[in-house]
Amino acid sequence: MFLTSFPAGPWQANCYVFAPDGTRTVVVDPGVGAAEAVFRIVEENGLTVEGVLLSHGHIDHVATAAEVADRYGVPAWIHEADRELLTDSGLPGVSADLLAGLGVVLREPADLRVWSGGERLAIAATTFEVVHAPGHRPGCVILRNALGAAPGEAHGVRELVFSGDVVFAGRSEEHTSELQSLSSI
């Protein structure tokens, strides 16, 4: 098993690169400034990207989703309620020019797939349970992954959960205010 994460962009949102079998990989939440680090991690570790999974549509989690998915020719998944945030930040007063100044060009990946919650996604030699968890955003999901016997036995961990901002240090209104502060830049 291979799992690494790093904080990306001005909001330090976590991006994950997860290869349950040590090779076949999913990238979770490639936000602002995450693409180059993802490319480096994939190359240095000989990984094969099979998909991009998005916990919700805020730019700090999706800004480079299209760049990563399209580079590897793989699909990206997002909840149907947050799809519009792939092309429009949803932040009043934040223009495409302002986002471009931060290196963000919002667009849908060439192969975009949507989920509504309750799905089981088989990808990268594993299966994720997609749990709809609206609150922070209408399209928030939790991605549950039951680890196989070997990783679970070796580390005492039986399940991984990618929660995006469903589990958040602080109130979601504070996070939204931080994102809206872009309009004052």
Distance CA(139)–CA(116), nearest Å, equals 8
Q: Where are the beta strands (DSSP E) in the chain?
A: 2-8, 13-19, 24-28, 48-53, 76-79, 112-115, 120-123, 126-132, 141-146, 159-162
pLDDT at 179 over 50: no
Q: Which of 48, 39, 53 is nearest to 19 (CA)?
A: 48
User: Average pLDDT in the 159-185 region?
Assistant: 61
pTM, rounded to two decimals: 0.87
Give pLDDT tens digits for 99-137. 888 788 889 999 999 999 999 999 999 999 999 999 889
Q: Can you give the pLDDT at residue 21? A: 94
Task: Identify the residue whose tokens are 């290869």.
Answer: 19
pLDDT at 77 over 60: yes
- What's the whole-number average pLDDT of the chain? 87
Residue 176, number of CB atoms within 10 A of its CB: 16
Q: Can you give the pLDDT at residue 11? A: 84
Residue 182, Cα to own-chain centre: how many angstroms? Answer: 20
CA-based torsion, 180, 170, 164, 115: positive or negative: negative
Q: Can you give the pLDDT at residue 115? A: 94
Q: Retrieve residue 41's tokens.
A: 């991690």
Higher-confidence position of 181 and 70: 70
